[in-house]
Amino acid sequence: MRTDKLDALSLEELYALADKTGLDLPPGLERPFVVEEILEVLEEDSEDRWEAQGEALHIDEKKYSGLRIGDFDEGPGRGDSLASRYNETMIRAIARDPSWAFAYWDVADADIELLRGDDGAAGLFLRIAEIGPPGERNDSQREYFDIPIADNDLQWYINLPRSGVRFRIDLCARRSGHGGKFRVLARSNEVESPRQSLAASAKSLDPGSYELLALSGAEDIPLDDPAEGNPLRILPTGSASPGNRAD
């Protein structure tokens, strides 16, 4: 799945992705080598996240000692498998942490047929649009970036450029031969990426309060957000999602 995603990118896009993942690749590398390097970094990232898992989770697991994996007799609900989709045109987004959101979507078969037929669609993409800070009423689109997706994609993790903002995701179909025009198939719910630095009001706290924050164990929380991340770093779901570990 992950290799498929990388294979769909041009060499130029692969170099851009490598750059964003911190790789310093020499120019002129053959495509398979670029893909391999990126895969390796993503795999290390995933392993690092797993290694870095805190202890609370491990302790929580101990509640469930005596685990087993076994087969069960048929009973209510047993043996049923879930459909992978519901054949509807929709998109939903969930904020995961300051850097990542998860989005899943679907396009109804009838809509796909329409796109293929009358509309002359040239591909689907997600438009991630920032619509202001939390609590602000104005939801006009400010900044956005697009992520091309394949027809059979149903979900992605999306790296967010900024924390502490509201955004939404449009599921769009590009129309070929229409001067770059596109059609919005579905619009997600509004999502807020959580802040990862102290609120602006913290700057006016007195020294005593800063000391109390430090005593509370908050000294590692920055006063300002780190430099903006890369809005184009994307990871497909499944094997490459952060923190994922095979069963």
241 lies in the binding site for other proteins (CB under 8 A): yes
Minimum distance from residue 97 beta carbon to other proteins (Å): 4
Binding other proteins (rule: CB under 8 A), the pick from 7, 44, 113, 211 is 211
CB-CB contact of 46 with 54 (8 Å)? no
Cross-strand pairs, 103: 93, 156
Size of the site for other proteins (CB under 8 A): 77
Distance CA 159, CA 102 (A): 9
Helices 31-51 and 11-20 cross at an angle (nearest 10°) of 30
Binding other proteins (rule: CB under 8 A), the pick from 29, 114, 202, 232 is 202
Q: Which of residues 3-42 bind other proteins (CB under 8 A)?
A: none
Which one of the spans 17-25, 50-58, 120-128, 225-233 is the region binding other proteins (CB under 8 A)? 50-58
Minimum distance from residue 180 beta carbon to other proteins (Å): 31
86 lies in the binding site for other proteins (CB under 8 A): yes
54 lies in the binding site for other proteins (CB under 8 A): yes
180 lies in the binding site for other proteins (CB under 8 A): no
201 lies in the binding site for other proteins (CB under 8 A): yes
Distance CA 118, CA 140 (A): 30
Q: Which of residues 99-158 bind other proteins (CB under 8 A)?
A: 102, 104, 134, 155
How far are the Cα atoms of 161, 169, 194, 195, 200 from residue 138, in angstroms, in the given order? 20, 17, 19, 19, 20
Distance CA 228, CA 193 (A): 13
